[in-house]
Structure 1
Amino acid sequence: MKTLIYILVVTLVTIMFGCNSTSKPVAENNPNAKTVAENKSNNTTSDSLWIKNPEIKYEILIIDGGFNPWLQSTAKPRGVYTQKQLESRNAPWIIEWNNRVRSPKTKLDSQLFNLHIDYDTGTDYGYEVNYLLYNYLVYFQLKNNIRLGGFTPRP
């Protein structure tokens, strides 16, 4: 399956494997999205969020210990921003993200920006993937005190 968007962010290995969230998967209200976040050992959700849509063949995988709780407690609810607004915010941030993947400015950059985001501005990924991508990029910038340029991140 061709993957259009594939995000794997490993910020701190300790956080990734050491912290568990007890929140529900956030993509459950998108009928086309399937979320894989169940931890079979204790029936809580894990720190990963995986959304797939077989119709347009995209995948988004976010692995970060604090993202799900942040999304549910801090992020603006769905519907506050239009899809166009989310796309206009995502595009410059993703360009800068990919620039840092190709040529990290610091050692920290090489640890944080390790995978390219394949995001085509001409493709309609739908509201849900743009919403989650936008919020992850906001969360990432605030958490790591990094600016990806363009707009100032705001939850």
Structure 2
Amino acid sequence: MKTILQISLLFIFIYSCSSTNKGKDMNAPITTDIGSDTIRISNDSLSYEIIIIEPGFNAWLVTQRPRGFYSKQFLANRNRQYVIEYNQRVLQPQRFNPNIYEQQINYQSNIDYGYEVNYLLFNYFLFLEQRYRQRFILTRS
């Protein structure tokens, strides 16, 4: 149990996502820092940041389908489904492990987060499904 507490340090933060894209440069560069067990993705013009802290995620990611395999629209649609289910589980700590589902994800469907963010978030959900034997959505293409 102690190991699960340490390993399950999962935080995905998307901060300060505005409800509109007016005045935002969607083609602004995205900063991706990949550490040993941490992935940080940020875009200052959109004012968002994702931090994934999960031991083994980077090693697992290189074994998955490459960038470009899925369309950006597919990833965005799937992420919307995953985020809804994930956030519902965060709100039910008596039913779902609060060490896995620690904090809600602020993923807004009206914001174009770009391919890289959607790719990494999608793969993070797949990683959670495999590692913790969870099932978020029933159908998968």
Query: What band does the TM-score fall into relative to the shorter chain?
Result: 0.7 to 0.9
Per-residue Cα deviation, 1:92-141 (whole angstroms, up to 9, x for no partner): 111010001111353x5211101110000111000000000000001111
1:35 and 2:32 matched: yes
Task: Find 1:109's aligned residue among 93, 97, 117.
Answer: 97
Gaps of at least 5 residues in structure 1 are 1-10, 17-29, 38-44
1:48 and 2:48 matched: no
Query: Could you say if the C-alpha distance between residues 111 and 81 of structure 1 is closer, same or farther in structure 2, counting changes exceeding 3 Å?
Result: same
Q: Which residue of 1 aligns with 2:114?
A: 126
Where does 1:89-100 land on structure 2 (aligned, <5 Å)? Answer: 89-100=78-89
Higher RCO structure (Cα 8 Å, ≥6 apart): 2
Q: Which residue of 1 aligns with 2:133?
A: 145
Query: Could you say if the C-alpha distance between residues 98 and 15 of structure 1 is closer, same or farther in structure 2, counting changes exceeding 3 Å?
Result: closer
So what's the TM-score if we normalise by structure 2? 0.77
Amino acid at match of 2:122: Y
Contact (CA 8 Å) 2:40, 2:52: kept in 1 or not?
yes
Task: Find 1:71's aligned residue among 41, 47, 61.
Answer: 61
- Tell me the secondary structure at the aligned position of residue 142 of structure 1: helix
Aligned-pair identity (%): 38
Alpha-carbon RMSD across the aligned residues, in angstroms, is 2.2
Query: Could you say if the C-alpha distance between residues 136 and 124 of structure 1 is closer, same or farther in structure 2, counting changes exceeding 3 Å?
Result: same
